Amino acid sequence: MDRPRFRAAFLHPRFWPLWLGLALLWLVVQLPYAWLLGLGRGLGALMLMGARSRRQIAARNLELCFPELSAAERARLLRDNFASNGIAFFEMAMSWWWPRARLARLAHIEGLEHLQAAQRDGQGVILMSLHFTTLEIGAALLGQRHTIDGMYREHDNPLFDYIQRRGRERHNLDATAIEREDVRAMLKVLRAGRAIWYAPDQDYGRKQSIFVPLFGVPAATVTATTKFARLGKARVVPFTQQRLADGSGYRLVVHPPLEDFPGDSEEADCLRINQWIEQVVRDCPEQYLWAHRRFKTRPEGEASLYRREA
């Protein structure tokens, strides 16, 4: 995909409200990091009160995945999760606009040698990640140290799409943005020995998915990780990120490649991936994106797990 380019059409009056909003956001994120964390928590509290539908979805997911917690414990986790979502709004802007050196000071990276080893061997890497609220800043911080290609879906607003892509790609000057549905391009990148960010933790429907347990609930799980690894002759390298509680930044961990992957069957691979997802999410549940209807697709004959209005 070509690099994003500024167009004169972006100066049309219909884009002026967005330009104003972006300018205000740019000014806000010049504040100290600790202040932005506080503002993010405040924004999250407002989101918790106002985003009724998303609140219901997140609360239902927590109920399904953590039945062992009391109602009070899940309510506290829900509040912490929305606070994390609010912080993520400013992390997005930080990753787009902060000077690279200022941003880099927040990174605590472990396991970079696993990506470097694959690069030396000329082998592609599926950087298997999850939809944590910190995904935007996590990808930016890792991208400063190693080229990472990414799956991409064009935003409906062309100006926002331009700003978003420009902000993301400044950390990866050699990176490639691949349309999410362009399987051929993804395999080409993997066979060229490059690393691509990929998250298999959302519900993409019944097509090309199978049902395996996640937190004890049958979940439609994509089989694409197995297919990409096999056809792209790629290593699957788990990647996790976490916002540190002491305000010092982010812990990014590039884990060792999965051994014996792909395995004997797609079902076994999907179960293995979901078990890893569950383990990682349990380590930091408040920073996961619970507002996604992860269990939307149900096995034949099963009723929806979400309220109709959600």
242-256 confidence digits (pLDDT tens): 999 999 999 999 999
Report the alpha-carbon distance of residue 284 to residue 303 in Å, rounded: 30
The residue with tokens 């961990």 is 253
Report the alpha-carbon distance of residue 280 to residue 61 in Å, rounded: 16
Grade residue 175 by pLDDT with cuts at 50, 70 and 90: confident
Using a pLDDT cut of 90, give the percent of the chain over it. Answer: 82
Q: For the purposes of burial, counting CB atoms within 10 Å of the CB of 65, is it exposed (0-12), middle (13-18) or buried (19 or more)?
A: buried
Q: Which of 206, 223, 200, 205 is nearest to 277 (CA)?
A: 200
Residue 216 has pLDDT above 80, yes or no: yes
82-94 confidence digits (pLDDT tens): 999 999 999 999 9
Classify 193 as helix, strand or coil: coil
Going by C-beta distance under 8 Å and a sequence separation of 6 or more, which residues neighbour residue 126?
Answer: 190, 195, 196, 198, 225, 228, 229, 232, 234, 235, 236, 237
In this structure, the strands spanning 195-198 and 125-128 are: parallel
Q: Give me the pLDDT at residue 310, please.
A: 43
Question: The pTM is what?
Answer: 0.93
What are the domain boundaries of the chain? 12-287
In this structure, the strands spanning 125-128 and 235-243 are: parallel
Backbone φ and ψ for 141, nearest 5 degrees, come out as: -65, -45
The average pLDDT across 93-97 equals 96
Contact assessment for residue 146 and residue 115, using Cβ atoms and an 8 Å cutoff: yes
4-53 confidence digits (pLDDT tens): 789 999 999 999 999 999 999 999 999 999 999 999 999 999 999 999 99
Q: Give me the pLDDT at residue 182, please.
A: 81
Cis upstream peptide for 17 (omega within 30°): no
Backbone φ and ψ for 68, nearest 5 degrees, come out as: -75, -15
Mean pLDDT of the chain: 93
Q: Which of 149, 195, 190, 155 is nearest to 173 (CA)?
A: 149
**From the CB of residue 166, how many other CB atoms can be counted at a distance below 10 Å?**
14
